[in-house]
Structure 1
Amino acid sequence: MEKERETLQAWKERVGQELDRVMAFWMEHSHDQEHGGFFTCLGRDGRVYDDLKYVWLQGRQVWMYCHLYRKFERFRRPELLESAKAGGEFLLRSARVAPPGKKCAFVLTRDGRPVKVQRTIFSECFYTMAMNELWRVTGEAHYQIEAVEMMDQIVHWVREDPSGLGRPQLPGAPASEPMAVPMMLLNLVEQLGESDEELAGNYAELGDWCAQRILQHVQVGGRRPTPAARRDLGTGGQGNPHPSGPQWSPSQTGRHGEARPGRGMAWDPREGGGPREPLGPGAGGRVPESQARQRAGKPGQTQVLPGLCGQPSTQISVPPQCFTLATWGTQVQSRG
């Protein structure tokens, strides 16, 4: 156990050093002092090779600066907060294509003119995250007003009327539902509801709805559900595999409503990442701890991970922290 603690501490220190290095790079090279916002197309030497500004990345950088400022003492620096505010003001001035409308651009010129608009909700999602975090660190109410109003608009587009996105439903198009939409909405539910009981209550039902939509993308015992029952299937009735996205949201999914059994699906102790062997209600949504430990392997043991998308298999050495990850699904069950 002591050796495991030492290993985890070493990784914590390494990650901290990498974070400091990354932050120093972006603080030095990405700030647009003339127009506000951030350059995000940077070479390894920090030189800007394209000055287009992507609203997703503008919102993410504002959120990250504010989040680090709020959570970590060593990042509580005035210049970091001022840079975040400058990025937020750039978004307020330029992100929306036709104010007072809420639709945001996907790409902007350096001085904030729209270049491309996507017919999705994701620019608006990152805009919302940025505004909410700015409110948390500054206390300035207009940021929170922007966040809540944009959240209401996103929910309207997703659950009531998507016409404002400019994406008409074409006759004969098969019903489908990408996982990205409920995944991002659930992220916003958690973001806006943090330490805010009123908003958390307002969005509780939405969080449950998102969790249920996400769980529809979990394969059921290797059996192929009928297309009528599963809107995430392709036209041939086959599932649409996407290993990265599902790994981002299991813990959020597990915190909402009837999705609590999903907590046990948050980690695949045999191969890592998202669940490979689904757990039905009869299993209580959990893997027995002894089985999880056995399947996780022993520290130092070599395991072979199957390749994805035609890539070759990969050999890995099982780190000690896999014991913690492998049994996470059983341990978290007691916290609900």
Structure 2
Amino acid sequence: MDITARLQDHQKWIREELERSVSFWLKNGMDPVNGGVYTCLDREGKIFSTDKSVWMQGRCAWTFAYLCHTYGVKEEWLAASKSCLDFMEKFCINREAGNRMYFTVTGDGKPLRQRRYCFSEGFYAIANAEYYGVTGEKVCLERARAAYDLIWNLNNGLIQDPTGMGPKTIPETRSGRALANPMIYLNITSVLRRVDPEQAELYNQRAAQCVDEIFRYHYKPELGCTLESVGPNGEFRGDVTEGRVVNPGHDIECSWFLMEDANLRGNKEQHATAVKIFDQAINAGWDKEYGGLLYFIDCLGRPPEAYEHDMKLWWPHDEILIASIMIYRDTGDEKYLEWFEKTLDYCKQYFSDPEYGDWFGYLRRDGKPTEPPCKGSTFKGPFHLPRMLIMCDVMIGQILGRN
């Protein structure tokens, strides 16, 4: 079968899988009583915990607005997005702590847990921005801009954290940098830059700083990896486990964030470096015995500390699919189409569940789901999978349009 026919087949499956995923979450996750979305769902979609993840409220709101952006507005999608936005506004913001957001709340919105990290605020920002892009509701843009600036100020030490939580480790003993901060902020920036051209100069400046931080401090070509955690000046801390951690899926996700930005700015050198990050991560992280991507590896081949290091999680495989088809679209190098198809085959065999819809979240190393299997959790909801399916559908369409 030639490449065009293969891509057409892939696109057909992707569109069908997107329909199954979206239907699964609309049917089983949305809360008609309190608003927002439940994400702790078993294989069939039954709720096994009514606590709500604030990350997932923002991610779900973004996903359904992005569906409207890509395919046209459907009232059911827009209502799902607004339900999550309204739930966050009413229950998920700690107004007494500088509008920092909670990490988890109860089903009816009572606060449960606050974390020092800014990811709840990040997903709140992209959700409001995307909803503004679809509806033009200015208040959503104002909320997105405010959250965007709050994260910047916290990440760069321009303000004290109003929660008073402080850093994770005692700074007099050890401080450092986390890859998640610049890479996630780069992705947040890409959404706001797309819907808010009035502030394009600001977004371009901050995106450039994020790229510089990733390359300057975390990308380690001499080690053949991109590190999750480094010293304040990018120092490699090889004497402690934390300093050797590589999350291949994170690096691959970072690679396509970098490529997306490089394409926007016409920066071929940045794009080429992002491809190298992908290559290093997938070659080091792909399980040569069972297939699939390992969750964590040690850059020096020493024992990883995380118990789940050799599990296979759904989201890193979504990131492989996005990044590989993006590189193939941009370069025409068939090696990356091969990675796309190899990963897609693995996902069809092990993650996809056409009987009930959506994907298993967590597999053992051999590809069998953890028991009892689940489709959602505090960390898994309608985000990585539908985002991948939407983006791959669009990119395959672009490739086919050139063929």
Counterpart CA distance in 2 for 1:114 and 1:234 is: 39
Q: How does 1:177-188 map to 2 (within 5 A)?
A: 177-188=177-188
- The count of corresponding residues between Structure 1 and Structure 2 is 293
Match of 1:103 in 2: 100
Point out the more displaced range, 231-240 or 174-183. 231-240
Structure 2 SS opposite 1:115: strand
> TM-score, normalization: structure 1?
0.76
Counterpart CA distance in 2 for 1:65 and 1:306 is: 28
Kept in 2: contact 1:60–1:126 (CA 8 A): yes
Kept in 1: contact 2:104–2:111 (CA 8 A): yes
Counterpart CA distance in 2 for 1:231 and 1:155 is: 23
Match of 1:91 in 2: 88
Percent identity between the aligned chains?
Answer: 23
Aligned AA (2:149) = D
Counterpart CA distance in 2 for 1:154 and 1:323 is: 31
Aligned AA (1:145) = E
Shift in CA distance, 307/125, structure 1 to aligned 2, threshold 3 Å: closer
Match of residue 166, structure 1, among 164, 167, 174: 164
Q: How does 1:319-330 map to 2 (within 5 A)?
A: 325=327, 328=330
RMSD: 3.4
Deviations 1:134-169 (A, max 9, x none): 111221111111111111111110112343353435
Match of 1:18 in 2: 17
Match of residue 143, structure 2, among 143, 146, 150: 146
Residue 264, structure 1, aligned to residue 281, structure 2: no
What are the ranges of 5 or more consecutive residues in structure 2 without an aligned counterpart?
298-308, 312-320, 334-403
Match of 2:318 in 1: none
> TM-score, normalization: structure 2?
0.64
Kept in 2: contact 1:120–1:165 (CA 8 A): no
Shift in CA distance, 82/45, structure 1 to aligned 2, threshold 3 Å: same
Shift in CA distance, 66/324, structure 1 to aligned 2, threshold 3 Å: closer
Counterpart CA distance in 2 for 1:306 and 1:10 is: 22
Comparing both chains, which one has the higher relative contact order based on Cα–Cα distances under 8 Å and sequence gaps of 6 or more?
A: 2
Per-residue deviation at 1:79?
A: 1.8
Deviations 1:209-253 (A, max 9, x none): 111111232222338999674246455495431211111122332
Kept in 2: contact 1:31–1:38 (CA 8 A): yes
Counterpart CA distance in 2 for 1:93 and 1:112 is: 8
Match of 1:69 in 2: 68
What are the ranges of 5 or more consecutive residues in structure 1 without an aligned counterpart?
278-294, 296-302, 313-318, 332-336
Per-residue deviation at 1:262?
A: 2.8
Match of 2:44 in 1: 45
Structure 2 SS opposite 1:222: coil
Counterpart CA distance in 1 for 2:162 and 2:76 is: 38
Shift in CA distance, 182/58, structure 1 to aligned 2, threshold 3 Å: same
Shift in CA distance, 231/79, structure 1 to aligned 2, threshold 3 Å: same
Match of 2:396 in 1: none
Point out the more displaced range, 189-198 or 50-59. 189-198
Larger-Rg structure: 1
Structure 2 SS opposite 1:174: coil
Aligned AA (1:250) = S
Deviations 1:116-143 (A, max 9, x none): 0111101110111111111112211111
Kept in 2: contact 1:175–1:231 (CA 8 A): no
Kept in 1: contact 2:41–2:47 (CA 8 A): yes
Residue 275, structure 1, aligned to residue 275, structure 2: no
Counterpart CA distance in 2 for 1:93 and 1:39 is: 16
Shift in CA distance, 136/306, structure 1 to aligned 2, threshold 3 Å: closer
Counterpart CA distance in 2 for 1:306 and 1:100 is: 42
